[in-house]
Amino acid sequence: MSDVTPIPTVRSFHGRVPVPGDKSLGHRALMFAALAEGVSTVAGLPSGADVRSTRSVLTSLGVQFENLTDGAVRVIGCGGNFATPATPLDCGNSGTTMRLMTGILAGAGIDTTLVGDASLTARPMARVAKPLAAFGAEVTTTDGKPPLKAHSHGGKTLKAPAEPISTGVASAQVKSALLLAGLFAEGTTTVVEPAASRDHTERYMRWLGVPIRADGLSISIDGPARPKAFTQTVACDPSSAAFVAAVAVLCDDADVTIPRVLYNPSRLGFFRALSAMGADVQFSDPAPDGPEEVADIRVRSGRLTGTRIDGELSLDSLDELPLLALMGAFAEGETIVADAAELRHKESDRIASTAAMVRALGGTIEEREDGWRIVGGPLRGGEIDAGHDHRIALSGAVAGSRLPGVTVRNFAVAEVSFPGFLDVLRRFGSE
């Protein structure tokens, strides 16, 4: 069977278009429910492979789950008293699963190995393993990459580091791993970042009663501590909403509303950048929802002009930068994306794979060490190779919604984050 998927073009795109639950929240909801003492109920979990990997890992550690008839999941928390797994913990393609669970397992003192697929095995993990040593925990890597080995600390309670721990990079995953380890440590754990990263973990901790406080780029928690059990419906994923919005902007005739999207400033960089390019993007008033806020997003078709995306805007739209580069190829004039060198260390080297995607469509793009220079101009159909990267697969589908004759090789990898994206295009769009 061929692994090349033809993409349907979309000329009219209307309606109220739902997107999957947010992956970042889904991972954390399951982890905090497992760490709690008592029963939690989580609805709206994304069905993609990454969050399933987190559930699978927690199941291997003895956490009990029950699927409810309305699609929600009941989690029987173990208070962090995990069982030692009989086999290595398979994190699949999910870097969030591996990095955050490494912090939890280091704190809990569970003797185990974390593994992943070929793509995950190529990703840097020393950035998590090394700072955990400040607790007295031992995590070893394989030449700085997976497999990772978490070692038992003989049943002893960890001590919080006497000095603040630097993450070294602005990474929510590294910061979260250290804060999660801090839940098991006696004393005050303080984590310092070089620049602000996403704060989902801190919001969860605050919402669930963990003693936590922030002072600029410094975050401290008092341990040992455990979160309260909770009930939550996971907000919808702004990264998935970005692909729906991009299709709408490129359409000849579009007016779509994406309901109940996570409204966290650190996750809305794509929409700020798209607005800067001239897109018609409107948010409803945000409303509190569990640890976060949610809002509806309305997007209509329109013309784009090039812009510059760098600094904080690049950080806040990091996962969506390949899609923004593609939008730059459709825009009038020049688009510059900078300060995004971290893209070299994702599911693919996204700077290189994005450049290859735009060139496959006949576009003009200059690959730089930390981003691209894109010049908008005529584009055509072509074959895009997604490799192991769901963001490239979905960006290729956005291109195909506008350009006839686009195919995506290995499009199935899109199931990691947005199962059924092509079905969404067929359901709400028409040629």
Residues 88 and 208 grouped into a single domain: yes
DSSP state of 320: G
Q: What is the pLDDT of residues 274-333, one digit of tens each?
A: 999 999 999 999 999 999 999 999 999 999 999 999 999 998 999 999 999 999 999 999
Q: Could you tell me the CATH number of the domain that includes residue 388?
A: 3.65.10.10
The number of domains in the chain is: 2
Check residue 431 and give its pLDDT: 57
Residues 275 and 421 grouped into a single domain: yes
Check residue 71 and give its pLDDT: 87
End-to-end CA distance of the chain: 27
Quick one: what percent of the chain has pLDDT higher than 90? 93
**What is the rounded average pLDDT of the residues 162-184?**
96
Contacts of 145 (CB under 8 A, 6+ apart): 121, 122, 123, 124, 125, 126
Please report which confidence band the pLDDT of residue 157 belongs to, taking 50, 70 and 90 as the band edges.
confident
Residues 241 and 312 grouped into a single domain: yes
Check residue 2 and give its pLDDT: 54
Give, in order, the Cα–Cα distances in Å from 412 to each of 109, 287, 394: 37, 34, 10
Q: What is the pLDDT of residues 191-206, one digit of tens each?
A: 999 999 999 999 999 9
Q: What is the pLDDT of residues 389-412, one digit of tens each?
A: 999 999 999 999 999 999 999 999
**What is the rounded average pLDDT of the residues 339-347?**
91
Between CA 409 and CA 3 the distance in angstroms is: 6
Question: pTM for this structure?
Answer: 0.91
**What is the rounded average pLDDT of the residues 177-185?**
98
Quick check: is 319 catalytic?
yes
Quick one: what percent of the chain has pLDDT higher than 70? 99
Check residue 70 and give its pLDDT: 84
Please report which confidence band the pLDDT of residue 1 belongs to, taking 50, 70 and 90 as the band edges.
very low
Q: Could you give the angle at which helices 390-402 and 421-428 cross, rounded to 10 degrees? A: 20
Could you give the angle at the alpha carbon of 194 between the alpha carbons of 325 and 311, nearest 5°? 25
Residues 207 and 255 grouped into a single domain: no
Residues 257 and 404 grouped into a single domain: yes
Q: Name the domain boundary from 170, 199, 232.
A: 232
Q: What is the pLDDT of residues 27-80, one digit of tens each?
A: 999 999 999 999 999 999 998 889 999 999 999 999 999 999 888 999 999 999
Between CA 78 and CA 37 the distance in angstroms is: 6
**What is the rounded average pLDDT of the residues 341-356?**
94
Residues 47 and 8 grouped into a single domain: no
Instruction: Give the DSSP per-residue string, 85-125.
Output: PSS-EE-TT-HHHHHHHHHHHHHHT--EEEE--HHHHTS--
DSSP state of 287: E
Contacts of 167 (CB under 8 A, 6+ apart): 127, 131, 174, 175, 178, 191, 192, 193, 194, 197
Residues 277 and 383 grouped into a single domain: yes
Residues 219 and 240 grouped into a single domain: no
Q: Name the domain boundary from 191, 214, 232.
A: 232
Q: Name the domain boundary from 195, 211, 232.
A: 232
Residues 13 and 31 grouped into a single domain: no
Residues 60 and 165 grouped into a single domain: yes
Residues 225 and 266 grouped into a single domain: no
Q: What is the pLDDT of residues 229-268, one digit of tens each?
A: 999 999 999 999 999 999 999 999 999 999 999 999 999 9
43 is in which domain, residue-wise? 23-232
Residues 300 and 226 grouped into a single domain: no
User: Of 199, 319, 385, 389, which residue is the catalytic one?
Assistant: 319
